[in-house]
Structure 1
Amino acid sequence: MHVAPVGGTAVQDHVALAEIELCGELIIAASAAREDRLSLESIDEVLRVAEERGGERGGER
């Protein structure tokens, strides 16, 4: 039997982990939504799109 050493040699894909986290946040928001679907504005809010765009274009949307 082979056991991975403590301290790990596991490779982490930080982009994939970030995508998984965002998907989880969307799932939570969708399950808490009062309507059948999340609005585009709600999705942007969950994904923090305005924050990202604000940093790139000086706050314009």
Structure 2
Amino acid sequence: MFWKIVGGLLLAWVAFMVIGSVVGFLVKAVFWIAIVAGAAFLGAAAYGAIKGSGNKKQIRP
């Protein structure tokens, strides 16, 4: 009975270690994807602001 409890605790510990490492990797990956996407968005917004400054069109009713 003692070894079943020790084995269950060991199995739970290994499972938490694996789940923790996977979640940690996913959090880091999502963070860097968000950084790259934010930089691309700001670059596209700056390019559009600079490129479209001389082309002002108005909607006429």
TM-score by length of 1: 0.36
User: Which structure has greater helix proportion?
Assistant: 2
TM-score by length of 2: 0.36
Q: Which has the higher contact order (CA 8 A, sep 6+)?
A: 1
